[in-house]
Structures are given as C-alpha cells and as structure tokens.
Structure 1
Amino acid sequence: MHTDDFRRLFVGFVMVDTLVAMRWLDRKWHKVVEKKLIEFEDEPFGEIIVHGGNDVSWGEAISDARKERMKQVTKVVFLLNITKVGNSVCRFASNLVVVDIPEGITSIGGASFGCCSSLKDIKFPKSLTSIGRASFIRCESLEQVDLLHTNVLELGDYVFDNCRSLREMKVPDSLQTLGSNVFCNCSELVPSTIDIDNMVDYDDVTFEVVDYLRSVQ
C-alpha cells in the first residue's frame, strides 16, 4: 500500500496519536488492523476497521474473542488500490449499518459481511464482478440490493441466505452465474425485481428456486 494513501486514511480515521500512527506506516496494513482490534482491549478502540484486501481465516473469524471485538465495529474504511474485500473481514460486525465499497474493487470474498445483523445500506462499485459464497448471509436488516450499475457476473452460494428483510433485488444484464440457495429464507423478496432470464449457470437446487420465481411472476 502506498505510504501517502495509508497516511491519509489511517491518520484520518483511526483514533490514535498521529506520531504513533506515523511509526506504524512501514508495517503491513493487517498488522495495524489487528493492533487496533486486539492489543488495545482496555482502550475504547475498535469502532473502525481499516481494510486492505486481506482474508480472515475461518477459524479466527468464528473465535469467541474476535466475535466480541467485532461487535464494536461501526465503520469499515478501505485502503486505495485494492481489488478485493477479504473473506470474513467484517463477519459478525453486528453494529455495522452502512458500507460503501469503493470503485476498483472487483470481488467480495466469502462471508465478508456475514451476520452483520444491523447492515441496511450497501453501495457497490461499477467495477464489481463477483460476490462470493455467503457474503451477506444473515444480514437480517438488509431490505434492498441494487447491482444494476455493476458488472457482476456471479453470485455465489448462499450469498443472501437468511436476509429475512430483503424485499428488492436488482441485478444487471451481465449476471451469468447464480449459486445454490442464493435467496434461501428471503421470505419478503419480491420476485419481479429479479431478472432471472439472464441466469445461465446454476445447479439443481437453485433451479428449483428459479423455477418457483418464474411461476409467481
């Protein structure tokens, strides 16, 4: 990550002394993130994640300690020049309400925002081409998703599984692959907002869901 970009975002958003922040500039960005979330447990820190495209391992993401720390997160800041939202990076951030994914990011990793139960507003970039498995699973406050302006080609398995408040889903003509159980338990979803004729690659389980959506339109 370019030092100037790092300095602008890190010093601007993380609540630490500027001199301390400057001493951290030569470290990998993920060390800074973990220092904020882990090492300052007795300080009122942890509201912001500074994200640079890394993955969080499955084991780490579901650990009780990290789950508790993630409850503090209310904002995610993306560093410049990254192309991916890492796997599980915001998983269990139950107080995260708004996410603005910047232009240049092409993929959202698996379970990136899984179990963000307060998440209501997601802004997607035009550059986006894929949304990974279970990226928004159990985002129970999410009411609408608009991907029309993006270049999304693929929605992975279980992407919006258990998004029980989801009422409107808009997908672009570019969409080609729809995974298994993408809209499982989305009981409020209005089928007419999904252009399913462009879904050309899906397995038998998803075929049953798509077939049902066609029947009620």
Structure 2
Amino acid sequence: MPPQPSAPTHRQARLLLLLPLLLLVAIAVNWTSVNKLLHGKATFRSILTGLADSSAVNLVGWEQPPDSGDPQARVKVEVFLAVGDPCHIDSAYLGQALGLLDPRRIRVQFVDVRTPTGMARRDKLKLGCEQGLALNGQTEFRVPDPQRPGKQKTVFLTHDGGGLAILHRLLNAALKAAYKGQGLPLSETEFNSFIQTETKRIATEMEAAAKVRLEEKKRRR
C-alpha cells in the first residue's frame, strides 16, 4: 500500500495561509514594474536585468544601420547581429565606427541574423553566436598568446572582435595583404581612441533618435 501524504504541520498551514498576502504585498511593492508589463512598456527580461528604465530598453526596435565603405574595397567586415535587439546595440555601434575608419579600403556590411539570409550566412561561416564579426569571410584566427611567449592562440571575432587590440592587429594584417603592405594609418593606441570616441558619439545619436521614437509612440497612444 503506497504511503499516504502526511498532513501539513501547523507551521506549514500558516505559511500557506500567508501566501496570498505575500503575493499582494509583492505586487504592491513592485506595482510600477507590474504596470509597465501590463501596458507593454517593459518585458520580464528588461525588468529582471535592471534595464527597465535605461536607454537600452528605449532602443528596442532600432533599425539596421546602412552598410558603409566602398563596395569594391578588398577588406570586408561583416557585422552579425539581431536588428532591434537592445542586447546587440553595441555591435551596431562598433560596426558603424569601423565603417568610418578607412571607407576607401574597408567595406562594412550588417547582417541581420533574424532573417533567413542572415541565419544562412552565420551558419556558413560557423560564427557560433548571434552577434560577432567576420573579416573577409573568416571568423577564427591564430594570434600571438601574450600569456605564452612564442605560442599562439585561437580567437573568434565574437561581439567586440576579441578586444580592440586583436581587432587592430587583424585589420592591419588584412589591409597589408590586400594593399601591398599598406596597413592601418593608426597605431593601436590611436585605433582604440578612435573606436571609443566614435562608438560613444554614435551611441549618443542613436539613443537620442530612440527617445524621439518613444515620445512619438507615447503621443499616438
């Protein structure tokens, strides 16, 4: 005969009676967040990650930046991202900054991985992530390992390209190979400063545009 479930203890019974009250208290304390959820002004993810009132959430629905650089450029950077996802906005900033670096010799193309074409391209290059970079169709590289002198390590161009120092090294090598030894016109320090300055400026512009869209959306309600 199977064992019968034991009756709840007095303490357990009290806790069960308190659950509805605790639920009401939780709703009251978090009413602002609950109200945003009910009116579609926030998502569970944005609230759980603390982004509910940040500019990132306002950037939901951002549009794909235009490709930049000479279509005939011999060095091509593909920026893989999910267009409209605020978690991928940093890749959009970085891609646009790279497009300003040397537009005559570097072509930057944005690939939306939420489209069938974008997914197919991502899978073909074995990106292994929804966002990342490909340099002349390559995503995996061997570079010197600073932790092991004389040795190399494998890096993948995911999200920020594995770091600006590595990205500078790879772009410089690609340009030298394609343009008779003429690499980047910027040193690593200058490259880092340029990318950081431009991404900050681009972020400010995109956030300002997002605020305008948000205000227009509020007025239409």
* TM score, norm. by length of structure 2: 0.21
Larger helix share, 1 or 2? 2
Larger RCO: Structure 1 or Structure 2 (Cα < 8 Å, ≥ 6 residues apart)?
Answer: 2
* Largest Rg, 1 or 2: 2
